[in-house]
Structure 1
Amino acid sequence: MFDADRLFKERLSHYMKETGRYLRYIFNGHIAVALFFFIAAFAYFYQQWLLTIPESFPSTIIMATVFGILVSLGSVRTLLQEADLVFLVPAEKKMRRYFKKTVLLSYFIGWYPIFLVAALFGPLYFASFPERSGRTYLLLIVVLLIFKGWNLLATWWMNNIQDKTIRVIDLFTRLLVSTAVFYFLIDGTMILATICTGLFIGVFLYDLFISRKQPNINWYLLIEKDQNRMQAFYRMANLFTDVPHLRNPVKKRNWLVSLWAHRVPYKQRLTYDYLFRLTFIRSGDYLSMYIRLIIVGSLFIYFVPIVWVKVLFAILFLYMSLFQMMTIYRHHRVNIWLDIYPISEENRKQALLRLIIKLGLLQTVIFTIVTLFLQNYFLTGIMFIVGVIFSYGFVYFYMKEKLVS
């Protein structure tokens, strides 16, 4: 006898255990310290910036855009698996109660980022509109929760539509209308906000209408979305620990491979140098994560007003980059062919250390160039010296002892 409630409880329990197990590795001591430093520094400079916020600052546009994206994006976590195409499709008519529970679960999970962003924008809102009361902002949060529910339902209905173009157009339309609603709400133009809300309800009802013409569940799309979401989570967790469920995407990036990896001399002792360079460029999220950390770190270094804090941020972002590159050492752990390489384990470790020290020095040079634009040559020299010392010290005194097969 099929029991939708029991199936939902089992799937939810498995999902919580799976994510909880890896979250313990993600939020370890190193990341906790980094997060605490980030939050404390951001709160301080955010507060100082609000005291001098110019009247021309487009706070309404920024808040409305972020709120519109926040309520429009996201889909239902159905917790489906590939095997369900065989075992659950015959019971599709009995799955209605199961999917209702997954929609509610996804909706309440979506509350967390809404409250987080609302808390972030609260000081900006009251600094931009000091004459307004807290009740007005509370009403805005309630509207956020309502629009999040409407958008989630519309996304769920549109999952039945096979044509991807229609789904994209619908999402883009709801995003624009939702953003307009929040813009006029924040701006205080209630008449236009009401008109845009009516437009959104029209799109909402249209989605319901066309979805009813497609009564069957689009199982392939739902499973694909859940798999993509979990793979994204696994890729993040893989930066901190081994994830056997991860399907590592491989990207060609031929121009970058020829520019850097192919420059390794054709010698036996440099086998792992070549392999690790290819891994960094083509596998997983190593390259994209490295670039993102450089960009964010450069922005902090450029805009933070206090000199010694700039140096601390440089060290922090260097640490985050180099620490997470350590997983390259274990990236090919399931490849048995590496075990027959006639190369010692020490050679393998030294190859990774050489790679990471190059990445650390490159990041240091970029941070140093950023400080040149500030025309503070003393800071530029300190940034370069501190970056080089930290990179070598971290790699050869910390990372060298931590590398394990």
Structure 2
Amino acid sequence: MNNLNYLWKSRLNQFLKELGKYSRLIFNDHFSIILLFILGFGAFYYREQLLRLEAMDPSSIRLPLILIVLGIQAVIFYVGRPIWFTQEPDKSYLFARGKGWRSFWLKGTGLSLILPILLNSLVAVIVLPLLTLATAWQVNQTVSLVVLVVIFKVLSQYDLYLNAFRQADKQHNIWMHLGIFILTMGISYLLPNAWHLWLVVFVALILGIYLFIETKASQKQPIQFNEVLENEALRESRFYKWISIFADVPKLKPSFKRRPYLDGIVQQLSHRLGDRYSFLYIRTLFRNNAYSGIWFRVMIFVAVLLLFAPNVWFAALLGIIGFVLTIVQLVPLMNYYRGNPYQQLYPNRDIDPIKPFKTVIAVILLIQWSVFTLVTLIALSWQTDLLLCIGAWFIAIFALVQFYLPFWYRKHGQAY
């Protein structure tokens, strides 16, 4: 048992180090500012929409509000899987520990509940004002809603933990739990006063009794070690895929995709620019998923926010933030190929990487500019102030390309 305790602490420390390392990379100064802005924008937008909804007829908005709330809760409830901290070698030299793995995996399940509990509690508090407009739930029942939602998530995670002792054809999955949760909450939102609360309590009680019986039965079941290993591999894969959205992950090899529909742009730019660095930068930014994903995801994310922008000036600020977030994440590419052995063996001293990089980045930002302009036209319709917004974006692109890139190059590019 001591060996398992030591193994647990070792794996936990390794996990926390990984989490801390990538957290520092993700929540850097630039992203923290953007995140703070997004949270402020979300709070402002939510308040404005809530005031509008309060002035509307409750009967006309009841069903749409319930569906929106259920959709949000479903997405958040889906987050989280048990953390097993189990690897392939454990199967061969620690399998004899038998029942000792039960407490090992149970501690991992408890650890995996921290983030889901926080998220589900926060969402329950946020959506309750919407529920008070269309359902029997009231503000004074905030604690009850939070506790019941958390209980459902705890029961879900515990049931997934019990899969370690079930045969493959008898295992439960998150989709089944999600269906029970959404069905229960959906009916609760439709029921009149008093019944809405007791329904959720009753279903949670039934699920608790069922899992108690399942726990007793699991004591006699063999450990499904292979299932645990597969689930842990899937969890790690999902974890690193999410991290790779914001930072480079050494454990994941960057993938390349030709994207034939972009061949025209790639060939035209390569022909017009013609130098070595432009050739490399163009293909990296359009075909290397590690870099193309950066500017594309920022473009989609900001475009979605622009659909809900309350006015032109807010849209202008959103677009500028999108350009800044794009360029600060892509500037390291300027030095990426300078240390390549072929660049050292066959140098071209007449080419300075800053010039081709400025041109290629300008193309990327102009693509984003075009998308932002189209989305803003759809969201806010045509108005005179929109010209100022579009012009401000163009000026921001010009300033970032002509002033920020040379500044960054002078500071970081001379070491090569």
Q: TM-score range by the shorter chain?
A: 0.7 to 0.9
Q: Which residue of 2 aligns with 1:216?
A: 224
Distance in 2 separating the partners of 1:199 and 1:330: 60
* Counterpart position of 1:24: 24
- Identify the residue that residue 74 of structure 1 maps to in structure 2: 80
Larger deviation: 77-86 or 136-145?
77-86
Match of 2:189 among 172, 186, 189: 186
> What amino acid does structure 2 have at the position aligned with 1:351?
P
The residue that corresponds to 1:175 in the other structure is 178
The 3 A distance-change label for structure 1 pair 344 and 134 is farther
**Distance apart, 1:337 and its partner CA:** 4.8
Contact persistence 2:303–2:375 (CA under 8 A): yes
Are 1:26 and 1:237, in contact at CA under 8 Å, matched by a contact in 2? Answer: yes
Q: Give the 3 Å change call, closer, same or farther, for CA 329–153 of structure 1 in structure 2.
A: farther
Given the alignment of the two structures, is residue 227 of structure 1 paired with residue 227 of structure 2, yes or no?
no
- Root mean square deviation of aligned Cα: 3.7
- 1:104 aligned to which of 104, 110, 130: 110
Question: SS state of the match for residue 356, structure 2?
Answer: helix
Shift of 1:112: 1.9
For 1:60, the equivalent position in structure 2 comes to 66
Residues 228-267 of structure 1 mapped to structure 2, 5 A cutoff: 228-238=237-247, 245-265=250-270
Aligned equivalents of 1:231, 1:391: Cα separation in 2: 32
Q: Find the counterpart in structure 1 of residue 408 from structure 2.
A: 402
Q: State the shift of 1:304 in Å.
A: 2.2
Cα separation, 2, equivalents of 1:393 and 1:86: 60
Task: Indicate the residue corresponding to 1:115 in structure 2.
Answer: 121
| AA of the residue aligned to 2:392 | V
Counterparts of 1:401 and 1:161, CA distance in 2 = 60
**Would the aligned equivalents of 1:177 and 1:200 in 2 still touch at CA under 8 Å?**
no
Change (3 A) 1:337 1:103: farther
Partner-residue secondary structure (3-state), 2:292: helix
Q: Deviations over 1:183-217 (max 9, x none)?
A: 12233354765786688679968987799766231
Pick aligned residue for 1:312 from 317, 332, 355: 317
Partner AA of 2:398 in structure 1: Y
Equivalents in 1 of 2:214, 2:275: separation in Å? 58
Alignment coverage as a number of residue pairs:
398
Question: Which amino acid in structure 2 is aligned with residue 172 of structure 1?
Answer: W
Deviations 1:146-181 (A, max 9, x none): 111121122233467786x986x8433322221111
| TM-score, normalised via structure 1 length | 0.82
- Return the match for 1:321 from 319, 326, 333: 326
Distance (Å, rounded) in 2 between the aligned partners of 1:212 and 1:351: 67
| AA partner of residue 228 (structure 1) | S
- Work out whether 1:371 is the aligned partner of 2:376: yes
| Structure 1 residue aligned with 2:48 | 48
User: Do the aligned residues in 2 keep the contact of 1:140 with 1:185 (CA within 8 Å)?
Assistant: no
SS in 1 for 2:358: helix
Asked if residue 275 in structure 1 is aligned to residue 280 in structure 2, the reply is: yes
2:254–2:289 CA contact under 8 A, matched in 1: yes
1:148 match: 153
Whether the 8 Å CA contact 1:301–1:371 is kept in 2: the answer is: yes
The 2-side partners of 1:342 and 1:3 are apart by 56
Which has the greater radius of gyration? 2
Note if 1:390 corresponds to 2:396. Answer: yes
TM-score (norm 2): 0.80
Aligned pair in 2 of structure 1 residues 235, 264: CA closer, same or farther (>3 Å)? same
The 2-side partners of 1:283 and 1:166 are apart by: 42
Would you say the 8 A contact 1:178–1:200 is kept in 2? no
Look up the equivalent residue of 1:232 and give its one-letter code. Answer: K
Question: How far 1:351 sits from its partner (Å)?
Answer: 3.0
State the 1:397 CA deviation.
1.1
Check the 8 A contact 2:166/2:221 in 1, yes or no: no
Structure 2 residue runs without a partner (length 5+): none
Q: Report the identity percentage.
A: 21
Q: What is the deviation of 1:344? A: 4.8
Provide the C-alpha distance between the structure 2 equivalents of 1:237 and 1:81, rounded to a whole number of angstroms.
26
Measured in 2, the distance between the counterparts of 1:375 and 1:237 equals: 33
Provide, for residues 3-48 of structure 1, a one-character-per-residue CA deviation record: whole Å limited to 9, x for no partner: 2222222222222233223322322222222222222222222212
Provide structure 1 residue ranges, at least 5 long, that are not aligned to the other structure: none
